[in-house]
């Protein structure tokens, strides 16, 4: 089996995007291959300018909760989502975009950060990658 991690990024919540990218970057840093499948609300975060726009999954409180958490993160020195995404790309991670989500939500390729996306695909590609992965997560 390939030493590989495959993660479905279904949620667009800020904290869950952090979880996905941190696990992904950790796996890359430890020598694994990583594929991230962005679907549904997760795919919204790959829209141009959309990466930081997700709400907090709990205690969002119309943005107040997110503001407080972001302020605390800054204090603790947590990297931005943009840095994590750039690092993911630099370390050879692969990003796949769900084409059905694009149809349902009326997202066009030109709306997305096409330079970061290696492929537009469906469930078959996910299964093919997941079946040879030692880590698979749904976030």
Partner 1 sequence: MAEIKIDCTGETCPVPLVETRKALRKAQPGDIVEVVGNHPASKKEIPMAVEALGLELLDVQEEAGVWRIRIRR
Q: Which residues bind partner 1 (CB under 8 A)?
A: 22, 25-26, 28-31, 76-79, 83-84, 87, 90-91
Cβ distance to partner 1 smaller for residue 3 or 114 = 3
Three-state SS for 132? Answer: coil
Question: What is the smallest separation between the CB atom of 48 and partner 1, expressed in angstroms?
Answer: 24
79 vs 122 by CB, closer to partner 1: 79
Burial label, 131 (beta-carbon count in 10 A; 0-12, 13-18, 19+): exposed
Q: Pick the closer one to partner 1 by CB: 62 or 76.
A: 76
Work out the burial of residue 71: count CB atoms within 10 Å of its CB; fewer than 13 is exposed, 13-18 middle, 19 or more buried.
exposed
Instruction: State the minimum distance, in angstroms, from the CB of residue 77 to partner 1.
Output: 5
Question: CA-CA distance, 92 to 83, in Å (whole number)?
Answer: 14
What is the closest distance, in whole angstroms, from the C-beta atom of residue 109 to partner 1 in the complex?
28
């Amino acid at each position: 089996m390939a030493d590989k991690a495959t993660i479905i990024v279904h949620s667009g919540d800020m904290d869950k995007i952090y979880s996905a990218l941190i696990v992904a970057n950790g796996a890359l840093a430890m020598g694994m291959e990583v594929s991230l499948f962005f679907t549904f609300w997760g795919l919204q975060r790959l829209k141009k300018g959309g990466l930081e726009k997700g709400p907090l999954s709990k205690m969002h409180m119309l943005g107040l909760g997110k503001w407080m958490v972001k302020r605390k993160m800054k204090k603790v020195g947590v990297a931005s989502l943009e840095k994590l995404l750039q690092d993911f790309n630099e370390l050879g991670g692969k990003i796949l975009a769900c084409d059905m989500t694009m149809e349902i939500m009326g997202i066009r390729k030109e709306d997305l950060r096409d330079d970061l996306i290696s492929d537009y695909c469906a469930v078959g590609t996910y299964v093919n990658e997941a079946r040879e992965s030692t880590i698979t997560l749904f976030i």
